[in-house]
Amino acid sequence: MQLEEDVSPILSVSGVSKTYEGGFQALKSIDLEIARGEIFALLGPNGAGKTTLISIICGIVNLSSGEITVDGADIGRDYRVARSKIGLVPQELTTDAFETVRDTVAFSRGLFGKTKNPAHIERVLRDLSLWEKRDNKIMTLSGGMKRRVLIAKALSHEPELLFLDEPTAGVDVALRREMWEVVRKLREAGVTIILTTHYIEEAEMMADRIGVISRGELILVEEKAELMRKLGHKELTLHLQEPLSGVPAGFSDYDLSVSPDGSMLTYSYDTNAERTGIGSLMRRLAEEGIRFRDISTKQSTLEEIFVNLVENRA
């Protein structure tokens, strides 16, 4: 008999708002559902509410209104069930100092009510290249190693849903790539991952879906593929020898614009389209005697989409 795939969301956030004492509204009626096994990237500028949202889901901050369930368990009423499914890697490097790596990870497992399982702890430490450091005191480790210890602690109780709050902030490129590898492995093991990041590249590399949060509002949730389609948008800019007063007549088939001083002509096109129209545009310009000194192209990045979204809201 084949078991039916569980399609209910692993995390459901509905109408969640948070107003801190003093009146600052950090979150405004957030609705979000996370599917099992996906990697969801939450993007947003500093102070947008990313960490507040994660902290509420994990039980560190009280919510003002709304409802959150983790695998169907309410985070308030059934907090034991809900929390036992969650692993949290916080943004700050908050570790103990004098404990050994193995002890601190075993402590985390105990805190989540799981009986000892040295084999699991060893697997986690090996996966995170921490096994060699297992008997070292945490205070002797580098920043990158401490970050791994935090991940190991979060994985110690075999969570189904893992929060990575800026996992690669302040981490060098090599370690960042290793972290991505760890995330990939976790995903293969069936763990659902929600990560917040400032690195758009990271979201592009890792995520299945991307959410953008700004000023406490979730302003966009989209499949990464859809966003990447928008990324196909590209601009070709011609630096003209003679300024133009406007888009020349007869070029209405092309998506052209002229800079205010007339020195640049910009053509917007879709790289995914069958024909980009660049060749014909060049020929037409030559026929019309419009000459140029230089050429540049520019692709809109996820970062620009993100910045535009946030600025438009501002």
- Binding to other proteins (CB under 8 A) within 19-78 occurs at 20-21, 58-62
Which residues have a Cβ under 8 Å from the Cβ of 54 and sit 6 or more positions away? 42, 88, 163, 165, 194, 196
Distance between CA 179 and CA 168 in Å, rounded?
A: 7
Pick 191 or 265: Cβ nearer other proteins: 191
| Nearest CB to other proteins, comparing residues 1 and 97 | 97
Q: Between 62 and 142, whose beta carbon lies closer to other proteins?
A: 62
Dmax (CA) for the chain in angstroms is 80
- Which residues lie across from 269 on neighbouring strands? 234
User: What order do you get walking across the sheet with 192-197 strand by strand?
Assistant: 86-89, 161-165, 192-197, 39-43, 209-214, 217-223
User: Which one, 26 or 256, has the nearer CB to other proteins?
Assistant: 26
The pattern of x and - marking residues 150 through 189 that bind other proteins according to CB under 8 A reads: ---x------------------------------------
CA dihedral in degrees (228, 229, 235, 236; nearest 10)?
Answer: 110
Residues 245-284 touching other proteins, rule: CB under 8 A, are none
Q: Identify which of residues 109 and 224 has a Cβ nearer to other proteins in the complex.
A: 109
Site for other proteins contains 307 (CB under 8 A): no
Q: How far is the CB of 86 from other proteins (least distance, A)?
A: 7
Q: How far is the CB of 168 from other proteins (least distance, A)?
A: 19
How many chain residues bind other proteins (CB under 8 A)?
34
Q: Report the nearest approach of other proteins to the CB of residue 311 (Å).
A: 29
In the bound state with other proteins, the residue whose beta carbon lies nearer, of 154 and 171, is 154
Kind and range of the H or E element at 178? Answer: helix 173-188
Using the minimum distance from each CB to other proteins, give the nearer residue, 35 or 61: 61
- The three-point CA angle 188-39-189 to 5° equals 15
Least distance from other proteins to the Cβ atom of residue 81, Å: 7
Shortest distance, position 111 Cβ to other proteins, whole Å: 4
Least separation, in Å, of the C-beta of 16 and other proteins?
Answer: 15
- Tell me how far apart the alpha carbons of residues 160 and 20 are, in angstroms, rounded to a whole number: 29
Rounded-to-integer distance, Cα 65 and Cα 77, Å: 14
Shortest reach from residue 20's CB to other proteins, in Å? 6
| H helix and E strand count, the chain | 10, 14
Q: How far apart are CA 307 and CA 284, in angstroms?
A: 35
CA end-to-end span of the chain, whole Å? 54
C-alpha 78/C-alpha 47 separation (Å) is 29
Site for other proteins in 81-140 (CB under 8 A): 81-84, 86, 88, 90, 92, 94-99, 103, 107-115
Taking the least distance from each CB to other proteins, the nearer of 85 and 209 is 85
Q: In the bound complex, what is the minimum distance in angstroms from residue 231's beta carbon to other proteins?
A: 36
Tokens of 28: 């405004």
| Contact residues for other proteins, defined by CB under 8 A | 20-21, 58-62, 79-84, 86, 88, 90, 92, 94-99, 103, 107-115, 153
